[in-house]
Chains A and B, each alone.
Chain A
Amino acid sequence: MSERASAPPPASDPNTVPSVAARLALYQRAGGVITPLLTALIAFLIGGLVVLATTGKDPIKTYKAIFKGTGLSWLSPVSIHWHLFYPASIHWTGWDTTSPTALNLQQTLIVVTPLILTGLAVAFAFRCGLFNIGGNGQYTVGAIVAVQFGIWFAGLPGPLHVIVAMLAATLAGAAWGGIAGFLKATTGAHEVITTIMLNWIALWVGSYLVGFNGPMQDPRAVSAPVTRPIADSAHLHVFWGNPLLQGLHIGFFIAVAMLFVYSILLNRTTLGYEVRAVGFNAEAARYGGISVGRNFFLAMAISGAFAGLAGSIDILGWEFNLDLTVVQTVQVGFIGIAVALLGRNSAIGIFFSALLFGALLTGTSTRNLDPSVFQPQLAGNLTRIIQGLVVLFVGADLLIIYLWQARKKLRLPQRKTAEQA
């Protein structure tokens, strides 16, 4: 993939204050895989301190309970009890697909799926030098279109219906993102502003459509602002777990496949070459004959397509209808920013950081967290604290890089003395 490990760049001119994009670019380059790990670690450390200071609970126990709630332990066929002595310490658990752990893992992966895609939506734009804050709006638009197409065409055979609905949602997301790209290319309107605006437009248009007496509201559900359910033929196939209990659907594989699409698109196509050239140095790209405006539009449209696809997968995979509360409280677009930043815009990085944030979300959900250890209502906030801290530390890249370089400096004198000896 596009991962390039390299040494931190030489100290830059202290007279110039780098722009946000330049600082993020610096962060992307510096420190290989170490900085994101360090960033996450520090975020968890401070999150733990907050737990300790505010609730007096043991942070280690809390984190353990959260981890248990994620179901990730299912992946290991043995369970190890570190506090017991051998041989009682290791139990063979195998892969019991009906255990509660398996159900938890299914939930985690269902949450991870849209996060991968919204992470890609932020990352792709970022590679073109654009900051896509509009993942939420693009996701919402995709979800609305997916519901409508899931309700229409009820007669179509299953796979075809799914493809039609997904394609329509993807295109809708692309259009929504493309608006911001088009405005940037033609009028220079900053994409941060326009995508935020478009988020609100999507939210209120969605609220109107889905809300009471809205054109999409289910006329039978008089008391609830929700759309009609999509046709059964539009449901994504559930390949693991019970379809009635929200088993894991094939949308997960679609998201993983998109990671490959992302990487190939960027690194092996002329479109990706142009996008990267514009992202690194728009001026040089223009001098080289590349149309910068066209790439702004395309990058935002492709970003929007990823987010729109995320919206359709959630609808077709497990939600099956669109609820007013979902329209008004959805956060995946914003979490996508943290996913992309922590994942350093590389496909592998986005997979793992989506896994991290998805696991945090399910691990702290009311259903999965052991309430005797930590109140789930508070734990949800812990997720947000960690998410915020990650974004904060990515912004404070210079601090992390400074720490990283200080560590090298500390080692340097030792090497010198070794040479002298």
Chain B
Amino acid sequence: MADERTVLELRGITKQFPGVLANDHVDFELRRGEVHALLGENGAGKSTLMNILYGLYQPDEGQILVKGEPVRFHSPKDAINRGIGMVHQHFMLIPVMTVAENIVLANEPTRAGLLLDTDAADRRVRELSRTFNFAIDPDARVESITVGQQQRVEILKALYRNADIVILDEPTAVLTPQEANELFEILKTLTREGMSVIFITHKLNEVLEIADRITVVRRGKRIDTVDRQGATEEGLARMMVGREVLLRVDKPASDPGDPMLTVDDLHVYDDRGLEAVRGVSFEVRGGEIVGIAGVDGNGQTELIDAITGLRKAASGRVSIAGRDVTGAAPGTVLDRGLGHIPEDRQRRGLVLEFSLAENVALHDYDRPPDSRWGWLFPRQLIRRARELLAQFDVRGGGPQTRASALSGGNQQKVVLAREIGREPSVLIAAQPTRGLDVGAIEFVHRRLVEARDNGKAVLLVSLELDEIISLSDRTLVFYEGEIVAEHGPDVSEDQLGIEMTGAGRQEAVA
């Protein structure tokens, strides 16, 4: 399969972790000037493969060939020296330093071997920026530029170290649709200049937009490599999951009842003391799903924290099912009929070292039948967990299994079982499908719609616009702590994308 255009080849890469075969004889081939997407669900082995390529892990078996030459990478340094650069999902930048300083970090041009040659660094960064058409100011501080620009800094960092193979790990996860489009433009420029790009993702639409070829991995094995021409979302999804998947949510029209969650002129400050939520008012009725769209960090987290009592609101009111819960402790708010599926299930949703039974009891452990007079009844916890786990189809363990032993999808099912199983009147779901594979996403979506059909008020916060659009009966757009737009069920992704960047509001101001 290798031809003269091949710049990189992975042959039969195998990596075993305790209990998991993360990569099972994976072959991968990258050609000069192409964007090659590596598509797979979470845990399919994409990241392991790329970490091996970048020298972070050593493969148990298999060979890496760069430009036809077998190599062994013992550390990222070796990979960088061979012209491989990687842009991680979480940027490795120092916020207080300038763009140029960040780019030359660990590879600084020096004068007389000692002093940092700032001018030379600046010049080189400007040069690169011009060649590849990056609109970026080398003297700007990293903390003052947008996430999309920070990502460009990361790419520049790789180019500065003379990389001609760039690995991007889920690069669009942190970007707005517009920023993603800008990134795609940059990738096209890069490939025109003869660079090669490996694009790791689990998003089907992106793959079809940007990739020249697509390699699909599932459970550590390479399933196939296909050209973009002729590939379809359905076909790729089937390869990824190994079965037919419903990509769209089927749901009947909503039948909203009484308002269950009312938020009135809420102001909330964030950890840095800045006003993150600035006078937000809305209500969610029983039997409807209200989606909150917005770029990460526009006050969504603080809003949820204030509703759930995890953070004190500066002013305003929150009521659940007609009862004021403003300023109440999280436990009280939960008791008043709130279910909360937190943003990060491993950090906030579950106690990973607890058994599933103990996790399911996380709200109700302190009252009968789970306990009486401070005495816990472990058998009762197990009994109830067994019921709920069956109802929510949790696989991979029973009530006494530790939560950490489950896959991400099943962990999220445990959270759903706990939160929906208590029959709350309001359900808040924050990023409920983040990091889940296609099959688990389908399950979570179905359960949220089911909760809605049972008359619960569902507030959905998500960074995934397609999720917002396919689930929400109403959509609120958040920008800098304010609601800047409201839409019914039919709204386009582009429209939301524009409003999320504050475009609508800025026009109004101008």
Chain A positions within 8 Å of B, measured between CB atoms, are 6-11, 14-15, 25, 29, 267-274, 276-277, 280-281, 283-291, 405
Contact = CB atoms under 8 A, between A and B. Distances in A.
Contacts of A269: 371, 374-376
Interface string B55-91: 0110000000000000000000000000000000000
A15 B88 CA distance: 12
Contact of A268 (B329, B362, B375, B402): B375
Contacts of A14: 56-57
B331 A290 contact: yes
Contacts of A288: 330, 334, 362-363
Q: Which 3 A-B pairs have the closest CB atoms?
A: A289-B331, A288-B362, A280-B353
A123 to B, nearest CB: 16
A280 B375 contact: no
16 contacts: A8-B18, A9-B18, A11-B18, A14-B56, A270-B376, A272-B376, A276-B351, A277-B358, A280-B354, A281-B353, A284-B348, A288-B334, A289-B329, A289-B335, A289-B362, A290-B331
B340 A270 contact: no
Given A10-B20, A277-B354, A271 B340 contact: no
Nearest to B367: A270
B481 interface: no
Contacts of A405: 18
B209 to A, nearest CB: 30
Given A7-B18, A10-B19, A270-B374, A286 B353 contact: no
B338 to A, nearest CB: 10
A276 B331 contact: no
Contacts of A270: 365-366, 371, 374-376
A269 B352 CA distance: 20
Nearest to A8: B18
B329 A291 contact: yes
A266 to B, nearest CB: 10
Category for how many chain B residues contact A:
35 or more
A277 B362 contact: yes
B330 A268 contact: no
B376 A280 contact: no
A15 to B, nearest CB: 7
Interface string B406-428: 00000000000000000000000
A152 B335 CA distance: 49
Interface in B15-65: 17-20, 56-57
A283 B347 contact: yes
B308 to A, nearest CB: 8
B46 to A, nearest CB: 15
Provide the main secondary structure of the chain A interface.
helix
B349 interface: yes
A268 B361 CA distance: 14
A90 B34 CA distance: 82
Contacts of A268: 375-376, 378
Contacts of A10: 17-20
A281 B352 contact: yes
Interface string B329-359: 1111111000010100001111111100010
A25 B354 CA distance: 13
A7 B404 CA distance: 13
A276 B362 CA distance: 11
A291 B335 CA distance: 14
A14 B47 CA distance: 13
B310 interface: yes
A287 B330 contact: yes
A287 B348 contact: yes
Contact of A273 (B56, B310, B333, B358): B358
A289 B363 contact: yes
A276 B141 CA distance: 43
Contacts of A281: 347, 350-353
Interface string B358-384: 100111011000010011101000000
Given A10-B20, A280-B352, A287 B342 contact: yes
A267 B375 CA distance: 9
A291 B353 contact: no
Contacts of A29: 353
Nearest to B348: A287
Contacts of B329: 289, 291
A15 B90 CA distance: 12
Contacts of A11: 17-18
A293 B20 CA distance: 39
Contacts of B17: 10-11
Contacts of A25: 353
A276 B354 CA distance: 9
Given A277-B362, A288-B362, A271 B352 contact: no
B351 A277 contact: yes
Nearest to B335: A289
Listed residue (A268, A285, A286, A287) with the most chain B CB atoms within 10 angstroms of its CB: A287
Contact of A15 (B56, B340, B349, B371): B56
Nearest to B90: A15
